[in-house]
Amino acid sequence: MKIKELLNALLENPNRKIAIRGKQKEIVGFAEFRSINLGDEGYFKAIFDDHSLLLIIPGEELLLYSDKAPEPFDEIADEDIGNKQELLFRGRRYKLENAHDYQYVVQLIKGNYQSIEGEVKYSDYVPEDGANELLSLGWIVRTGKRADDNPKELSIEDVKLS
């Protein structure tokens, strides 16, 4: 299966069961997003019943996955987000790639405003060593709460639909 095939299958039926690295999951929130800085380069987020998330970036043929719900990374100060060119996070150096962006929902496919984060003011950092992952730091507009995440690349071979 290719990433676009996975995306099309989930768009066609977001109630399908999905297994990631052998663990069965149910999608509780699924939406298409855009951001101000990235323009027409859309991406999709699926939030699962165990609060993990899958980020599907069709334009880059990339899957990013986090097995944890977004949470505040308290070791990074609010005032540093988008302002510092470099951050040290859990022993790894990250460089600023996308500063002061704004994410918005283009299409809510499954779930509601409580199951998908919606509008977020954020900045993205990438590892200096070139690994395919994000250190995404920001605030949910609706609540004002920090929603930081550190999803890492996921191979399409680790994803199975049923």
The model's pLDDT over 33-58, given as tens digits with 9 standing for 90+, comes to 999 998 888 999 999 999 999 999 99
- The confidence score (pLDDT) of residue 89 equals 96
Share of the chain above pLDDT 90, in %: 88
Q: Which residue is it, tokens 């049923």?
A: 162
3-state SS, one letter per residue, for 24-56: EECEEEEEEEEECCCEEEEEEEEEECCCCEEEE
What's the whole-model pTM score?
A: 0.93
What distance in Å separates the CA atoms of residue 152 and residue 70, rounded to the nearest whole number?
A: 13
Query: Across all residues in the chain, what is the average pLDDT?
Result: 95
Two tokens at 162?
């049923």
- The confidence score (pLDDT) of residue 115 equals 86
Q: Which residue is it, tokens 């040290």?
A: 88
- The confidence score (pLDDT) of residue 124 equals 97
Q: How confident is the model at residue 117 (pLDDT cuts 50, 70, 90)?
A: confident
Q: How confident is the model at residue 135 (pLDDT cuts 50, 70, 90)?
A: very high
CA separation, residue 146 to residues 32, 72, 120, 123, 139 (Å): 21, 5, 9, 12, 4
Q: What is the mean pLDDT of residues 48-70?
A: 94
- The confidence score (pLDDT) of residue 70 equals 85
- The confidence score (pLDDT) of residue 64 equals 97
For Cα atoms 162, 7, 101, give the angle at the middle one, nearest 5 degrees.
Answer: 135
Q: How confident is the model at residue 73 (pLDDT cuts 50, 70, 90)?
A: very high
Give the burial string for 7-41 (b: 16+ CB within 10 Å, else e): beebeeebeeebebeeeebebbbbbbbbbebbeee
